[in-house]
Amino acid sequence: MRSRWLVGVVSMSSLAAWLYVIPSSAQGQAKAKGYVAPRTIGGQPDLQGIWQAMNTAAVNVEDHIAVLDMPAGRSVIVDPSDGKIPYLPAAAQKQQENFKNRAKADPLNQCYIPGVPRVMYLPFPIQIVQTPKYVLMASEFAHTLRMIYMNGTKHPQDVDFWIGDSRGHWEGETLVVDVANINAETWLDRSGNFHSDALHVVERITRTDADLLTYQATLEDPKVYSRPWTMRMLLYRHREPNFKLLEYECNAYLEDAEKESR
């Protein structure tokens, strides 16, 4: 599994250079102002399709240098302006410990479901399907499914989920998703950036071009961060003929057994 994971992460860095022309933020904003997404049968902006992040946020959402199995990349954090997560002092120390122990401590290395927002920028495609009452997001990673409820219902009480509980509504062209009840064990990336059980995420997903989604997530967690902070990135639509989600089977037990046999 590890070798396939590495190929996926490296692919995101290399593919972005020759499969897509990434617009500057100014170009992206210009397109966003003039673009109106096609509509679904229900009249909502159509976000349907298979999309994929083409960055290294899955490695580290902050600026980072290359280390073994982890390519270098730029921060996707737009607030604070320094591109860094505003950790409380004790939490910053915990993140460093997570990084040192990442091979064993990262929940994805044990094949657990990625949380929000991590699932959105793994090096695996995501398929979006819409109905008037639901938005379904299916990730190629280990058959991960995420349901966004659009019927005005509230978060359940006293329960958590690895993928969190998502409740959405439309604000013009933008799907706004309120995410709570996220399991405290999930990480934000492979570098040990993390949160607590108090994490609250607000996502804003806008189709800003025929083949682009602008994805933004604001994270608030008073147990871990000194203030709310925001990441933003582009998701690209796959246009290859007959492109579809394929199987990615994650089996930590077999991976550990393989290591022990060497």
- 2-260: CATH number: 2.40.128.20
Q: Is 70 exceeded by the pLDDT of residue 205?
A: yes
Q: Is 80 exceeded by the pLDDT of residue 32?
A: no
- Name the pLDDT band for 69 (thresholds 50, 70, 90): confident
Domain boundaries, the chain: 2-260
Q: What is the model's pLDDT at position 248?
A: 92
Q: What is the model's pLDDT at position 6?
A: 44
Give Cβ neighbours of residue 237 (< 8 Å, ≥ 6 apart).
Answer: 49, 50, 51, 210, 211, 212, 213
State the average pLDDT for the chain.
Answer: 88
State pLDDT tens for residues 216-257: 999 999 999 999 999 999 999 999 999 999 999 888 755 554
State pLDDT tens for residues 157-181: 999 999 999 999 999 999 999 999 9
Q: How far apart are CA 15 and CA 260, in angstroms?
A: 34
The whole model's pTM is what? 0.85
User: Are 115 and 186 in contact, with CB atoms under 8 Å apart?
Assistant: yes
- Name the pLDDT band for 30 (thresholds 50, 70, 90): very low
